[in-house]
Structure 1
Amino acid sequence: MNLQPQPDERIQRALVVSAHPDDADFGAAGTMGRWVNAGIEVTLLCVTHGEQGARPDADVSRLAGEREREQREASAEYGVRDVRFLDGYRDGWVEPSFDLQRDIVRVIREVRPQRVLCQSPERWYDRLQASHPDHLAAGEATVRACYPAAENPFAWPDLGLDFWHVGEVWLMAHPTSTHPVDITETFEAKVEALRRHSSQTGHREELESLLRSWSTGIAEQFDLPQGRLAEAFRIVPVNAPRESQDEPPHEDG
């Protein structure tokens, strides 16, 4: 089934959640750039500071701060200024715990996004690197936070924030993506964003050609016109668009 998302003009706010700095830039920087250009307010939330993502000779004591700085600079390349990091979650040790779900629910209720983009909680065996255990855990926690937790007024009322119905979830690096986004016009911003991650990818001379090859392959997979570039996602509808958020949550069953 090829489920279609809501048109961008119906979306005012979007939240993107990733396990580490640079994850979202690899999977969705071009798409986030398109959303920003369409007038959508985009917030990026990183679960960890990515302190284990380094070359063997790196100064690990400084890496968390460096990677946070890199992500903020990268996000600015495609127009995202609201970049947030959770504290207390260790790179390489992420689990979809109730604490993590609660922290993501807090951000959902603060941002109040109609659209949430996160990593797939389903493992992609044909491209295992995309299914890092932290990615799977962050994706699972985010999906659980979107439904049912964020929209249940009885879940974590101590947060002091009104419940919120997320309309749709976009999964990146899903084994069966269904929806392409043409990023031809925002591809250069994606490349520049990933170059900002100097501790990770900025030194790679083949970076642009690698990203272009991936994006071309996705565009061809979805029969986009020749020369176009794309990112792809699995679309999961959660709630139909509504005029008011003051409705009770759906039944658990």
Structure 2
Amino acid sequence: MLPESEIDRVLVVSAHPDDADFGAAGTVALFGERGVKVTYLMVTDGDAGGNERTLDNSGMAELRRAEQTAAAKCVGVTDLRFLAYPDGAVVASLELRKAITRVIRQVRPDLVITHHPDRNYQFIAPSHPDHRAVGGSTLDAVYPDARNPYAFPELLLEEGLEAWTAREVWLVGGSTPNHYVDITDVIDRRLAALQSHVSQVAHVEGFADFIKGRSAAWAERAGFAEGRYAEGFQVVATA
């Protein structure tokens, strides 16, 4: 794994607003405390999500962008980017790979965090089709696209974006995590970020207890002491 001292920039690529917070808000908060620059890239605006049915898709997209912006502030992230793909209709494509490659070359991250591209048969929620499409496309953008100067040459010729190698990827939502981050000291910030997504979670009774229980289960799986909280990832070396 990359030593912490060699992680200066992180790019989190997610399908919808709130995905980054469900998967890695605590870890992102810890990165921020160490001075690491974190960028969020949301492929969709989440316009097909939520329980507020008085809003049309455009209104929901605007609301969810605002919620994600508020959530990001809770964990110290101010650089947010949205690709505005239609929620629920994301597919792995060259177009999506190019869009993600563009942001990788702009941000030049040491570490990329994204969805696991495989279906999780132990817990179905992370396996939304958009998640799997974004995870697979992000991995393809990391390797080989972003590092290959001959891939999408117009990014260099027209936009001046040089090739870049992201050295590691952390996948969220998979069934085989092999790295756990102790987020006990920032569990309140994780909760604050998630509770900023009012349209998604306000109706869930006992939501805070659910999140704490899930985070405690990750910590137990990691072998941490009782009373600790964690987030889990599958680490993929790319360099």
Letter in 2 for 1:233: F
Residue equivalent to 2:130: 134
Residue equivalent to 1:78: 75
Residues 149 and 155, structure 1, Cα contact 8 Å, conserved in 2: yes
Q: Evaluate the alpha carbon distance shift between residue 174 and residue 77 of structure 1 in structure 2; reply closer, same or farther with a 3 A threshold.
A: same
Residue equivalent to 2:217: 217
Residues 8 and 35, structure 1, Cα contact 8 Å, conserved in 2: no
Report how many residues are paired. 234
The answer as to 2:145 corresponding to 1:149 is: yes
Equivalent position to 1:68, from 44, 48, 65: 65
Residue equivalent to 2:41: 45
Question: Unaligned stretches of 5+ in structure 2?
Answer: none
Q: TM-score by structure 2 length?
A: 0.96
Alpha-carbon distance, 1:57 to partner:
2.4
SS of the residue 2:198 aligns to: coil
Letter in 2 for 1:131: S
Letter in 2 for 1:166: A
Describe how 1:205-244 pairs up with structure 2 within 5 A.
Answer: 205-239=205-239
SS of the residue 1:199 aligns to: helix
Residue equivalent to 2:93: 97
Residue equivalent to 1:170: 170
SS of the residue 2:38 aligns to: strand
Moved more, 103-112 or 6-15: 6-15
SS of the residue 2:199 aligns to: coil
Residues 52 and 199, structure 2, Cα contact 8 Å, conserved in 1: no
Q: TM-score by structure 1 length?
A: 0.90
Residues 179 and 232, structure 2, Cα contact 8 Å, conserved in 1: yes
SS of the residue 1:109 aligns to: helix
Alpha-carbon distance, 1:169 to partner:
0.4
Q: In percent, how many aligned pairs have the same letter?
A: 44
Alpha-carbon distance, 1:182 to partner:
0.3
Equivalent position to 2:3, from 7, 24, 38: 7
Q: C-alpha distance in 2, partners of 1:38/1:199?
A: 31
Residue equivalent to 1:249: none
Alpha-carbon distance, 1:204 to partner:
3.3
Equivalent position to 2:111, from 87, 104, 115: 115
Residue equivalent to 2:32: 36
Residues 109 and 150, structure 1, Cα contact 8 Å, conserved in 2: yes
Residue equivalent to 1:180: 180
Q: C-alpha distance in 1, partners of 2:54/2:74?
A: 25
Residues 30 and 189, structure 1, Cα contact 8 Å, conserved in 2: yes
